[in-house]
């Protein structure tokens, strides 16, 4: 009954646990960044193929996706910097 009123006791975290969690998130963010870099390269190649085939609209769509991936990479980089600051 008291747990409903006062809530459940919070688990205490140690400094080592938080450091491990931060390193795991950094590794995950680096993996995401590598994957997005591969996608950017693929979109550039697709855009080149479409321009050779004179398909301008498909090439523009590829370049727009490339720009979106680059924005995501920039956001991940900012997030990594914030984690490093902690």
Q: Domain total for the chain?
A: 1
| Residue range 2-60, pLDDT digits in tens | 666 777 766 767 878 888 898 999 999 999 999 999 999 999 999 999 999 999 999 99
Residue 3 lies in a domain: no
Residue 21 lies in a domain: no
Residue 20 lies in a domain: no
Residue 15 lies in a domain: no
Angle at 24 between CA 40 and CA 9, to 5 degrees: 135
Residue 30 lies in a domain: yes
The DSSP symbol for 53 reads T
Residue 61 lies in a domain: yes
Residue 70 lies in a domain: yes
Confidence (pTM): 0.76
Q: What range does the domain containing 50 cover?
A: 26-85
Residue 18 lies in a domain: no
Backbone angles phi, psi at 67, to 5 degrees: -65, -40
Q: Is the dihedral of CA 43, 44, 46, 51 positive or negative?
A: positive
């Amino acid at each position: 009954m008291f747990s409903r009123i006062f809530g459940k006791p919070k688990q205490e975290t140690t400094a080592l646990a938080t450091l491990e969690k931060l390193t795991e998130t950094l590794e995950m963010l680096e993996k995401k960044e590598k994957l997005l870099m591969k996608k950017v390269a693929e979109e550039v190649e697709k855009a080149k193929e479409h321009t050779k085939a004179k398909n301008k609209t498909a090439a523009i769509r590829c370049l727009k996706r490339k720009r979106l991936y680059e924005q995501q990479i920039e956001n991940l980089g900012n997030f990594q910097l914030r984690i490093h600051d902690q």
